Amino acid sequence: MLSYDHITLDPFQTSWLPAHLSAGMLRLDKIHPEISGNKWFKLKYNIAAAKANNCRGILTYGGAYSNHIAATALACKEAGLHCTGVIRGEEHHKHLNHTLQTAENNGMELVFVSREDYRSGKAANTWEMMFPHYHIVPEGGHNAAGAKGCGEILSVLPAIGFTHILCAAGTGTTLAGLINSAQPYQQVTGIPVLKGAQYLEKEVAGLLQPGGTSHWQLLYGHHGGGYAKKTPALIDFINSFYNETGIPTDIIYTGKLVMAFRELAQQGYFPENSKVLLIHTGGLQGNLSLPPGVLSF
Ligand SMILES: *Cc1c(COP(=O)(O)O)cnc(C)c1O
């Protein structure tokens, strides 16, 4: 299906990177403009399971701005599978935003429910009953099949020489896959982009498999005010990082990841001569919600 040929591992230098550290960015954002980065890895084995079990299609759910919704629509289209997306917030059906329009254009059947019904339906498995014989992909692609796919991220390009691996965390599925597939000497660090995300500790632990690294950590102080909060400092940072490296990042996940990397590097989190691999998990289409001209790319 999707080819990994466009993925690169770009070493980068910046004015703030201490001389004793080296850094590289694994550019999963280059896989595809819509199936951004990690989302494809999370969906891969879910799609395979839906096909193997002759399911009628894939059923998933999420918010109106969910990268996961857009990615699922396209992945199902490529796989020739029907898919339904349950969307939180009835009001969104009146005017489809960019994410939902893309999903619908790619064939996803959108079902809009109120926030209350969304919450209670999720808790009571209502949709599983409404859509029998569908393969269910939980919100954000958070399941064992998702983590299994993310376990393949580090084998796309040789990541053996890196001492540290850093990624942004939403549901923590990508982080779990990285931990499961990292070398025992590698330290894997997740940067939650949500405020109060301490519950991730258990969510990640629940997806771990033997054989990876036992050195992993979630660092909670880098959400920059909470999910999708964009400060002028973040926007400035994203622009200057692009100007220095040519690497575009997004306002929700990867911009905060690189900003956290700068803070950690300056605080001495990394021992001398560490080699740090940052995972670019994509999400660039989310920048389309900004007025033109705010970002320099
Ligand atoms: C969804 C997403 C994430 C979060 O991945 P999880 O596996 O849920 O932690 C990170 N970065 C980008 C760009 C995303 O779209």
Ligand 1 pocket test target in 32, 67, 99 with most atoms within 8 Å of CB: 67
pLDDT in tens, 195-253: 999 999 999 999 999 999 999 999 999 999 999 899 999 999 999 999 999 999 999 99
Q: How large is the C-alpha radius of gyration of the chain? A: 19
Structural domains of the chain, with CATH: 9-33+151-289 (3.40.50.1100), 39-141 (3.40.50.1100)
- 49 CA from centroid of ligand 1 (Å): 21
Assign 3-state DSSP to the chain and report helix, strand, coil percentages, each to 5.
40, 20, 40
- 41 CA from centroid of ligand 1 (Å): 11
Q: State how far Cα 63 lies from the chain centre.
A: 14
Q: Which residues of the chain have pLDDT under 70?
A: 1
How much is the pLDDT for 214? 97
- 84 CA from centroid of ligand 1 (Å): 21
Q: What is the largest CA-CA distance in the chain?
A: 57
- Please give the helix or strand (H or E) that residue 233 lies within, else none: helix 232-245
Three-class HEC string of 151-204: CCHHHCCCCCCCCEEEEEECCCHHHHHHHHHCCCCCEEEEEECCCCCCCHHHHH
How much is the pLDDT for 1? 58
How much is the pLDDT for 58? 97
- Residues whose CB falls within 8 Å of the CB of residue 288, separated by 6 or more in sequence, listed in order: 98
Residues with C-beta less than 6 Å from any ligand 1 atom: 36-39, 67-68, 140, 168-175, 250, 253-254, 281-283
How much is the pLDDT for 121? 86
pLDDT in tens, 144-153: 999 999 999 9
Cβ–Cβ < 8 Å for 175, 188? yes
